[in-house]
Amino acid sequence: MGRQTQTRHLLARLRLENGEETVTETYTFQDVDFGAGDVTQLVRGPANKSGFIVGVAIYNVSETFTDDTTEARVDIGTVADPDGYSVGADFGTLAATAALNPEGADGALGDRIIEDTDFLITTVAPTGGTPAGIATVSVSVAWS
């Protein structure tokens, strides 16, 4: 587990210990075909709760990823700033049957998702050559 993920898990635990109700929701997108181009999902968390990203997972890889020019990644942000909450970590040439928990960097908006605000999860295609890669993508957000 990376330092950033450890810090976020610690924050969730501290909120629980301080009586704040924290609920983690995981948004899962199955069989995402990264080779077909970028795909953006619009998501809204629970009413009256703000959230922070605690993890991104790539698994059930059924087609090896390419990275001739740029690698595939997952960005999390807003319409105005598509990677504002998390600038995705690259997947490299993630092989079929592999899994990955990439550590993205916090975006310009930080990692806190404002309550009652839509946010975007964008699967960004690799570029160059013949883009390829199919996998399930999950993004976990702790809401309080």
> Is 1 or 106 the better-scoring residue by pLDDT?
106
On the question of pLDDT at 143 being above 50, the answer is: yes
Pick the range with the lowest mean pLDDT from 47-61, 71-85, 89-103, 127-141: 89-103
**pTM for this predicted structure:** 0.83
In three-state secondary structure terms, 72 is coil
For the chain, what are the domain ranges? 3-143
Q: Is 19 buried (19+), middle (13-18) or exposed (0-12) by CB count in 10 A?
A: exposed
Mean pLDDT score, 4-30: 68
On the question of pLDDT at 16 being above 90, the answer is: no
**Among the four given CATH numbers 2.40.50, 1.10.760, 2.60.40, 2.60.120, the one describing domain 3-143:** 2.60.120
